[in-house]
Structure 1
Amino acid sequence: MSEKTRVLVVDDDPSLCRLLEMRLQTAGYQPATCESGERALAELEQEPADVVVADLKMGGMDGLALFDAIRGRWPTLPVIILTAHGSIPDAVEATRRGVHGFLTKPFDAEELLDLLEKAVNVTGGSESARESAQRHGIHTRSPRMEAELERALLVANSEANVLIRGASGTGKEVIARAIHNASQRAQGPFVAVNCGAIPETLLESELFGHVKGAFTGAERDREGLFREADGGTLFLDEIGDMPLQLQVKLLRALQEQVVRPLGGRDGVSVNVRVLSATHRDLDKALAEGEFREDLYFRLAVVGLELPSLAQRREDIPLLAKQFLSEANERHGREVRDLSPEALEMLSQAEWPGNIRQLQNVIEQCVALSTSDVIPGDLVRQALRQDTQPAVPPLAQARESFEREYLIRLLKLTEGNVSRAAKLAGRNRTEFYRLLGRHELRAADFKPAKGGS
């Protein structure tokens, strides 16, 4: 047990709080005390604890209500309940709800210390989720984010596949790397691939490899990312964009831990843990038949849901200063801080691009700052520029080009579908299907009757 192990004692009896405080200090713990459940929750948000010891019967929020609130925000934080009104129903209810231990007053000090030691061992030592996250480069004081981090770090040492959901820019790959680094596979490779950024025709070869001559341009054998990640972790980003045909092959590889290179006849055994991420609504994709249910359950043994930056606004100043330090190092600058006006502006911004957008804004400000404190005007300018239309994703660019192309053809042919289809190198049926997909009507491009 480490001297840094922090125990929060919650009891509305000041004399008992003082007694427990002295006993815990003598045993080498770092105790803190609160007189109510409501105060305990506020205290935990400011400074995490490793174990909570709470009285069952208190004015306002009782011990079990406090436990329920803690379980909702910090799922892995162990709670020990004390009561002078001990009864079998109380103990059964506490245990059923997941309370780590239940002691009846007056209790034996050694029994409490034994429970504390077991609680610390269950959670892997005295390191809090926040401290552990910071060790992996993740900075937060958001209860919602800390709850997801606790789940992530708790599952890290298992072999369970994890699906990380969250909007673009919320830090899904950062969390995946933290899980890998906290796992028993940390010494093995961490290999990441964006399934939405690679054309369907190449993604199978990228994942499973190919043999020489498997297709035009395959001039030598390629191992593929599964074999590259052997003994470590494979991170499949934007898994929701994977084509259905390839989902079948991925499911087989996950079930058998065997991959078959494109054009090859023999399978190759691999030992890979798969973490995946998506910004898509996979429930909707499942309902519409765009994602296989069996693959979903294979990938999402454990699910994490990352909040948007707007849902964790208390982290904006913390992240801004982290990015400021990193940008200084990259650009060789010495910008010391952000002005109060700049911080206020950052805290109130919408952040549709989440953490990635905040990082871009700070990067701009550092690059353009002429003083050692970033002023509000510079942040305002960077925010305005950063919300201008960015380079769209490839799929979106293709859709936009295709629509504009069809409009030009219809204008050129004055709505004559046969001529437009011929110019496009498509038959009429295919051309009508394209028009329907883009909600275009040939009749709208025909010249008005009786026009001058």
Structure 2
Amino acid sequence: MLNSVIVVDDEASIRAAVEQWLSLSGFSVQLFARAEECLAQLPDNFPGVILSDVRMPGLSGMQLLERLQQQDPGLPVILLTGHGDVPMAVEAMRNGAYDFLEKPFTPQHLMSSLGRALEKRQLVLENRRLHEQADLKAQLETTLLGMSQGLQQLRRQVLDLAGLPVNVLIRGETGSGKERVARCLHDFGPRAGKPFVALNCAAIPEALFEAELFGHESGAFTGAQGKRIGKLEYANGGTLFLDEIESMPLAQQAKLLRVIQEHKLERLGANQSIEVDLRIIAATKPDLLEEARAGRFREDLAYRLNVAELRLAPLRERREDIPLLFEHFARACAERLGRSAPAPSGAQLAQLLAHDWPGNVRELANAAERHALGLGSPDLAPVNEGQSLSDQVEAFEAQCLRAALRQHKGEIKGVMEALQLPRRTLNEKMQRHGLVREDFLEG
């Protein structure tokens, strides 16, 4: 239950009396003598109620109500007056005031009004939170494409972790989309407006690694002309994405660990520490703890980075996502060129589903772009030896159902006619593949 109340009144005696009543009743109270002070310090989505006098120097209670209605129409405002002005009360209620109390009022009357207002505020904030979650979920579904169970779980994990101030380790094969997932963790969290800095640890020569990561002062070493801000400092307030973290030199691992522990760094050639506030998302293909046991990675750093771990399944383990991704990449390429992408034939889809995709999503995107350009697909392995015929048939059937549902916008009769299936058979197949018609409805 919410219990925060802001009291705005220019009379110190009224403020003191109301604070005493509310505090004894378990409310959290904040006092202001002027409406301008309240507006300046009011946080977004304030979890409580505003209790304000009407007649005050500067902004009046009615003017405060008007400003608050513009900022947050769902914020309950209870106005107080000592003048018994009924027309003013009617106008205040018409303008959005939750209640209007005439001085002197009893504590019981005040508590009753506040209780109802706080209940309403709780419902408004909960409804707002649910809408925001639904919007984020919809945005994420268009960014991390896929209908497989693994992708659905990954999206849930990303939404859960995006708002938490913890470091994350992403494990996955080359081309599986680790940087895209890291970007989602940044974009869907509170650091979204701050820098997202990506650094591929395998692409930097060891001799330049420290300067790249920490920056340097002028003259710190031969060739260091001028001051340079390193990646860690540049990412201050935001997110640093360290791809192929297993390639980081051991000497720099020790220095990175110190930055994580102390939230401070020193540029090369400097004696002054710089405070940094950043989130680190690291990506790796091998198991960092196995690398540590082999002496190639610091075990203490591995634990610091792996507060939470996300595993990206290779494309061969989520074949049902292949047609959707192929269609997406082909359409995106065609739109860039101002042309339409031809739909893949049944034989092409079967070949796509059978291929092992060692390059994962990156390889699939290349194949889709070649298809959109009319260059044909690259040579694909005819059959994946690790997948049975029944598994391939199941994956192809799921794609056919999904394509028909999408084409007919979830209209079951159209899908039945297109696939020549009776209603009962179609229902059984949709249930087996986890398909729900509501997911394909227009709009």
Please report the TM-score for the alignment, with normalisation by the length of structure 2: 0.55
Residue in structure 2 matching 1:344, options 328, 333, 350: 350
Instruction: Write the mapping of 1:68-107 to structure 2, written as runs, cut at 5 A.
Output: none
Report the equivalent of 1:353.
Answer: 359
CA distance in 1, matches of 2:135, 2:320: 19
Amino acid of the structure 1 residue aligned with 2:352: L
Report the equivalent of 2:266.
Answer: 260
- The CA deviation at 1:187 is 0.6
Report the equivalent of 1:312.
Answer: 318
- The CA deviation at 1:233 is 0.7
Report the equivalent of 1:245.
Answer: 251
RMSD over equivalenced CA pairs, Å: 2.4
CA distance in 1, matches of 2:131, 2:253: 36
Using a 3 Å threshold, how does the CA distance of structure 1 residues 190 and 263 change in structure 2: closer, same or farther?
same
- The CA deviation at 1:348 is 1.0
1:178 aligns with 2:184: yes
Residue in structure 1 matching 2:296, options 290, 295, 299: 290
- The CA deviation at 1:337 is 1.9
Q: Which runs of 5+ in 2 are unaligned?
A: 1-122, 382-443
Instruction: Write the mapping of 1:262-277 to structure 2, written as runs, cut at 5 A.
Output: 262-277=268-283
- 1:384-403 Cα offsets, whole Å, 9 max, x none, are 7xxxxxxxxxxxxxxxxxxx
Helix, strand or coil at the partner of 1:323: helix
Instruction: Write the mapping of 1:388-399 to structure 2, written as runs, cut at 5 A.
Output: none
Using a 3 Å threshold, how does the CA distance of structure 1 residues 199 and 126 change in structure 2: closer, same or farther?
closer
- 1:357-416 Cα offsets, whole Å, 9 max, x none, are 1011112222234xxxxxxxx22x4547xxxxxxxxxxxxxxxxxxxxxxxxxxxxxxxx
1:362 aligns with 2:368: yes
Report the equivalent of 1:141.
Answer: 147
- The CA deviation at 1:210 is 0.7
Using a 3 Å threshold, how does the CA distance of structure 1 residues 295 and 213 change in structure 2: closer, same or farther?
same
Helix, strand or coil at the partner of 1:168: coil
Helix, strand or coil at the partner of 2:321: helix
Residue in structure 2 matching 1:329, options 335, 345, 348: 335
Instruction: Write the mapping of 1:53-132 to structure 2, written as runs, cut at 5 A.
Output: 127=134, 131-132=138-139
Helix, strand or coil at the partner of 1:127: helix
Using a 3 Å threshold, how does the CA distance of structure 1 residues 130 and 348 change in structure 2: closer, same or farther?
farther
Conservation of the 8 A alpha-carbon contact between 1:130 and 1:139: no
Instruction: Write the mapping of 1:152-191 to structure 2, written as runs, cut at 5 A.
Output: 152-191=158-197
Helix, strand or coil at the partner of 1:334: coil
Using a 3 Å threshold, how does the CA distance of structure 1 residues 120 and 160 change in structure 2: closer, same or farther?
farther
Helix, strand or coil at the partner of 1:196: helix
Amino acid of the structure 1 residue aligned with 2:270: G
CA distance in 1, matches of 2:218, 2:136: 48
- The CA deviation at 1:123 is 7.2
Conservation of the 8 A alpha-carbon contact between 2:145 and 2:151: no
Residue in structure 2 matching 1:300, options 306, 309, 315: 306
Amino acid of the structure 2 residue aligned with 1:350: D
Q: Which runs of 5+ in 1 are unaligned?
A: 1-115, 370-377, 385-452
Conservation of the 8 A alpha-carbon contact between 2:141 and 2:155: no
Between 146-155 and 318-327, the greater mean CA deviation after superposition: 146-155
CA distance in 2, matches of 1:234, 1:154: 19
Please report the TM-score for the alignment, with normalisation by the length of structure 1: 0.54
Conservation of the 8 A alpha-carbon contact between 1:130 and 1:141: no
Conservation of the 8 A alpha-carbon contact between 2:171 and 2:285: yes
1:234 aligns with 2:240: yes
CA distance in 1, matches of 2:252, 2:194: 26
- The CA deviation at 1:122 is 8.5
Helix, strand or coil at the partner of 1:368: coil
CA distance in 2, matches of 1:124, 1:155: 18
Aligned-residue identity in percent: 42
Conservation of the 8 A alpha-carbon contact between 2:351 and 2:380: no
CA distance in 2, matches of 1:127, 1:251: 37
- 1:78-107 Cα offsets, whole Å, 9 max, x none, are xxxxxxxxxxxxxxxxxxxxxxxxxxxxxx
Conservation of the 8 A alpha-carbon contact between 1:165 and 1:277: yes
Conservation of the 8 A alpha-carbon contact between 1:120 and 1:126: no
